[in-house]
């Protein structure tokens, strides 16, 4: 019969349990003269009762552990002052109950729950020791059980009635207590059960029951305690009823206030100034008639709400957002094409395709007067100016600029908003951006669209499908606004590093423009025109205080950065500016013109290793070209041959596609042994190991196919390939060379590494011819159709 009561307290949390109808007995002769004393806070143990008690104090825990280990009797004594952590004899009630530990349980918070069985009462005569826990000399007491007569039975019935009344009114007592109470016939059991089960306001009233050895007297005292508890519960009920009446009164006042408001409106007495202002703002809006109808319904709903109601503020904020949106309000486009070209050229060096597309859009807008805005996606490595280009486009067009960062967004509600009925609901980022811009035709840059993720809350990529489709975004639906909004005049520019991670349907809706990396010459111009002036301004330096020699910038580009963009270059220039600012602040001498010989002092040792980039210094080593989201890179394929059983081993953290390319290359060589100059039988006696350095970096893709076959042939022949050669291309099992992507990025990587000859597929010729002359200047391209052409060109 468990879980009948929970007693609060810092030391104990008690649930009294009574087992059966038979009172457990123990003779005084079986008990010691002294007992370990367990001080109880907010709990009382009565004879015959089983208590689970949570022990928290160190001394109490040690007592419980010793008692359980040695099967000892203990004395459970209530504590007078519950706040005392180290009780002395004066802090204890003089009466307690002999108990034995049935079981202990270790709790996750470090405390121990001990289940105690009470046997008989005792009186504490003295405390003989306080360490390691209290040990008390006690005198055992007998309980006087009255005869089973009419008087005793009447007391028992009254006790049951009072206890049932208290238990039913208590929210803490469990339902099982009532049925358990009715089933007890033993008078001694009944008194102890009620004393432990009933929750009373004054804990000491229960403690004082321990002093009475006569069960009839204890029962009468218990009846007095129950009477007090019943009266307290009646007072509580009266207070609750009064509170309920006050709430009903508030509802009545709200109803009367609503009636009064209606009467005041009829008499022209209502103060409608605020609502009049909202309606005046609505009349100035250029929204469709359907939106005006919705507004009228929503403001009528607002007028019906009590201003103190939570729904009032929700509705008021919604109407304010409706009025704040720039329905049909457009900024005037600057259609001067020459001015637009000038602004774009001022802000960014290069990026001709993007600038050309913006000028085309302006030209059609100038001729036609109206045109759906294009959805442009600028993709390329970091630091090439994709994000800042959006601001430049807005300045060229004379439009407002809004940037929305999508990196890490995984909730569809971030795009479409939450329904306004939810607590804390907000509109989506797109409408929020338009609201901030104050016009319906801003330039919105959706930054890092390839970094969108999805989870159980939805896929934000799918939510963008409507916004970024020129055929659908005339009626974009935001869940918060719940009204279609026209986005067709917004010029969306998205940016990405890796378009492979963009949702295919989303990618299909955008015009993809590749913003590749820069040549060293272009980086110099960008540094000279943009980066150096910006860092001078940010570090509080005058132009006369810090200048860069052309060779110094070239050396920074060459020896201290290794990137497609210019972000790392700007960081190095910023470092030089910081050191210069420090020298000026400390009145130290410094060069006003930074030359390349000063860079070691300012930037430390060069971080680029040009020796590594030479490559091809031994048989089996061939330089390949790769594309990553960071731009083009060179990589080396190394092969070595050893005696063995014709086993191919691949290392270097290669992906499945790259491993397949190595297998195809090896099988092709075995099928055409004449490429290696050795008979077919010897392949069974030689193992070949293919390795791609930088093993910690994952690598994958098919474009290293011709590089791998060249590396293997070089290793089998024992001849190194020509110097200054790099290659890229996929191969088939028949030896045909297939085209690959990322040609411009790979060409830039080759130029950075000092490569002068590039071997690529014949089908990539059109890609090379599409690249501006400045990028391919100084490079020789060898176009190949099959592996034999590759081998001939490489050796």
Catalytic choice (703, 711, 714, 761): 703
Q: Which long-range contacts (CB under 8 A, 24 or more apart) does 696-699 make?
A: 696/653, 697/653, 698/653, 698/655, 699/626, 699/635, 699/652, 699/653, 699/654, 699/655, 699/658
User: Which two three-digit tokens encode residue 612?
Assistant: 């590594």
What's the helix, strand, coil split of the chain in %, to 5?
Answer: 45, 20, 35
Q: Which of helix, strand or coil describes residue 196?
A: helix
Do the beta carbons of residue 340 and residue 362 sit within 8 Å?
yes
* Backbone torsions φ then ψ of 539, nearest 5 degrees: -105, 10
Sign of CA dihedral 642, 644, 650, 651: negative
Q: Bridge partners of 786?
A: 736
Annotation marks residue 746 as catalytic: yes
Please state, in angstroms and as integers, the Cα–Cα distance from residue 142 to each residue in 131, 147, 189, following that order.
30, 16, 15
Please state, in angstroms and as integers, the Cα–Cα distance from residue 136 to each residue in 94, 141, 386, 511, 755, following that order.
11, 15, 83, 90, 94
User: Which two three-digit tokens encode residue 441?
Assistant: 């035709």
Catalytic choice (744, 746, 751, 761): 746
Q: Which of helix, strand or coil describes residue 213?
A: coil
In degrees to the nearest 10, what's the CA dihedral of 552, 557, 559, 563? 170
87 vs 509: CA distance, rounded Å: 78
Q: Bridge partners of 379?
A: 496, 514
443 vs 395: CA distance, rounded Å: 9
Q: What is the DSSP string of 48-110?
A: TEEEEEEE-SHHHHHHHHHHHHHT-EEEEEEBSSTT-SS--GGGB-SEEEEEEEEEEEE-TTS
Residue 530 DSSP symbol? I
Q: Bridge partners of 637?
A: 622
Annotation marks residue 516 as catalytic: no
Q: Which of helix, strand or coil describes residue 17?
A: strand
What region does 724 belong to: left with phi over 0, alpha with psi -120 to 50, or beta? Answer: left
Q: Quote the distance between the C-alpha of residue 164 and its chain's center.
A: 53
Furthest-apart CA pair in the chain: how many Å?
A: 121
Do the beta carbons of residue 505 and residue 465 sit within 8 Å?
yes
* Positions marked active-site: 703, 746
């Amino acid at each position: 019969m468990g879980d009948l009561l929970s007693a609060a307290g810092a030391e104990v949390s008690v649930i009294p349990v009574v087992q059966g109808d038979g009172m457990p007995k123990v003779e005084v002769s079986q008990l010691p003269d002294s007992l370990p004393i367990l001080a109880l806070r907010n709990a009382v143990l009565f004879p015959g009762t089983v208590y689970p008690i949570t022990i928290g104090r160190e001394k109490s825990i040690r007592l419980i552990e010793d008692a359980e280990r040695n099967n000892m009797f203990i004395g459970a004594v209530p504590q007078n002052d519950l706040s005392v952590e180290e009780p002395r004899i004066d802090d204890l009630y003089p009466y307690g109950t002999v108990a034995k530990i049935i079981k202990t349980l270790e709790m996750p918070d470090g405390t121990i729950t001990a289940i105690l069985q009470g046997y008989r009462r005792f009186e504490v005569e003295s405390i003989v020791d306080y360490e390691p826990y209290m040990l008390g000399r006690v005198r055992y007491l007998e309980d006087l059980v009255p005869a089973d007569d009419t008087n005793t039975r009447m007391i028992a019935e009254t006790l049951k009635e009072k206890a049932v009344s208290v238990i039913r009114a208590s929210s803490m007592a469990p339902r099982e207590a009532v049925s358990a109470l009715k089933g007890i016939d033993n008078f001694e059991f009944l008194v102890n059960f009620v004393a432990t089960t009933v929750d009373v306001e004054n804990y000491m009233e229960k403690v004082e029951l321990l002093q009475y050895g006569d069960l009839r007297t204890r029962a009468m005292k218990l009846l007095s305690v129950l009477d007090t508890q019943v009266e307290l519960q009646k007072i509580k009920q009266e207070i609750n009823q009064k509170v309920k009446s006050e709430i009903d009164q508030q509802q009545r006042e709200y109803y009367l206030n609503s009636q009064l408001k209606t009467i005041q409106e009829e008499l022209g007495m209502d103060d409608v100034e605020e609502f009049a202002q909202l309606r005046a703002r609505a009349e100035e809006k250029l929204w469709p008639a359907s939106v005006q109808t919705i507004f009228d319904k929503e403001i009528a709903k607002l007028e019906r709400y009590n201003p103190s109601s939570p729904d009032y503020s929700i509705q008021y904020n919604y109407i304010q957002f409706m009025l704040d949106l720039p329905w049909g309000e457009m900024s005037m486009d600057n259609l001067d094409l020459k001015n637009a070209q000038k602004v774009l050229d001022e802000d960014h060096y290069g990026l001709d395709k993007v600038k050309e597309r913006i000028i085309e859009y302006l030209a059609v807008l100038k001729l036609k007067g109206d045109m759906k805005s294009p959805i442009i996606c600028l993709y390329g490595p970091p630091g090439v100016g994709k994000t800042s280009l959006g601001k430049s486009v807005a300045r060229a067009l004379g439009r407002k600029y809004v940037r929305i960062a999508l990196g890490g967004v995984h909730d569809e509600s971030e795009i479409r908003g939450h329904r306004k009925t939810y607590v804390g609901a907000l509109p989506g980022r797109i409408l929020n951006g338009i609201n901030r811009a104050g016009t319906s035709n801003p330039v919105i840059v959706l930054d890092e669209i390839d970094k969108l993720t999805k989870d159980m809350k939805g896929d934000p990529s799918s939510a963008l499908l409507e916004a970024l489709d020129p055929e659908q975004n005339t009626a974009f639906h935001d869940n918060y606004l719940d009204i279609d909004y026209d986005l067709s005049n917004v010029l969306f520019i998205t940016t990405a590093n890796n378009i492979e991670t963009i949702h295919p349907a989303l990618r299909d809706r955008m015009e993809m423009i590749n913003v590749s990396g820069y040549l060293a010459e272009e980086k110099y111009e960008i540094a000279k025109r943009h980066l150096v002036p910006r860092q001078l301004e940010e570090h509080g330096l005058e132009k006369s205080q810090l200048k860069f020699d052309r060779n110094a910038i070239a050396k920074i580009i060459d020896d201290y950065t290794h990137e497609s963009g210019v972000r790392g270059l700007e960081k190095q220039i910023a470092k030089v500016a910081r050191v210069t600012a420090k020298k000026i602040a400390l009145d130290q001498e410094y060069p006003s013109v930074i030359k390349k010989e000063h860079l070691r002092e300012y930037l430390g040792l060069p971080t680029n290793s040009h020796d590594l980039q030479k490559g091809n210094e031994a048989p089996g080593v061939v330089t390949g070209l790769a594309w990553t989201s960071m731009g083009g890179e060179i990589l080396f394929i190394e092969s070595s041959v050893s005696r063995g059983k014709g086993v191919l081993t691949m290392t270097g953290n290669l992906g499945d596609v790259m491993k397949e390319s190595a297998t195809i290359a090896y099988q092709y060589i075995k099928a055409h042994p004449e490429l290696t100059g050795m008979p077919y039988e010897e392949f069974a006696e030689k193992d070949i190991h293919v390795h791609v350095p930088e093993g910690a970096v994952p690598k994958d893709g098919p474009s290293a196919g011709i590089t791998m076959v060249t590396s293997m042939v070089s290793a089998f022949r024992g001849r190194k390939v020509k110097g200054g050669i790099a290659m890229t291309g996929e191969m088939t099992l028949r030896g045909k060379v297939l085209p690959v992507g990322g040609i411009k990025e790979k060409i830039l990587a080759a130029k950075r590494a000092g490569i002068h000859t590039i071997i690529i597929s014949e089908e990539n010729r059109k890609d090379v011819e599409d690249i501006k002359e400045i990028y391919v200047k100084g490079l020789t391209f060898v176009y190949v159709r099959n592996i034999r052409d590759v081998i001939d060109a490489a050796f």
